Amino acid sequence: MTDARILRLCVRFYPPSQGGRIALPDLSGGEYRPHLVSDEEVDPDYLGVQFVACADPVDFGVDLRVSVRLPYGGVDYSGLVPGRAFTIREGARAVGEGHVVSC
């Protein structure tokens, strides 16, 4: 897999009242690099991603269409297939959720 691999996701960020972030991240600048953790794994991997584009106005609790880059060579991203659900993690804290739309 190359460093240029891009995935399309649908994500939703939890509001602060549900344990989410106080402020929403910039989803288009390439600076936001959380982990995606598959909801289907017993012993899940934390898969680092880089948010590079967002097609929607960003707000808490709404579905957002985003693009993420898979920046790390040697990491097995093969579980991120269309339809796969995941949580968005910052450390151990889940700040959002979503699913893979396309690879």
Which domains does the chain show, CATH number per domain? 6-102 (2.40.30.10)
Give the model confidence (pLDDT) of 30-46 as tens digits.
Answer: 999 999 999 876 678 89
- For the sheet with 50-54, list strands across it: 47-48, 35-38, 85-90, 93-102, 6-13, 64-69, 50-54
Residues with Cβ within 8 Å of 89's Cβ and at least 6 positions away in sequence, in order, are 34, 35, 36, 37, 46, 95
Following DSSP, what letter does each residue of 16-70 receive, concatenated?
GGGT--SS---SSSS----EEEETT-SS---EE-EEEEE-S---TTS-EEEEEE-
| Predicted local distance difference test score (pLDDT) of residue 83 | 94
Which tokens hold the place of 82? 């269309």
Contact 69, 60 (CB under 8 A): no
Confidence (pTM): 0.91
| Predicted local distance difference test score (pLDDT) of residue 2 | 42
Which segments in the chain show pLDDT lower than 50? 1-3
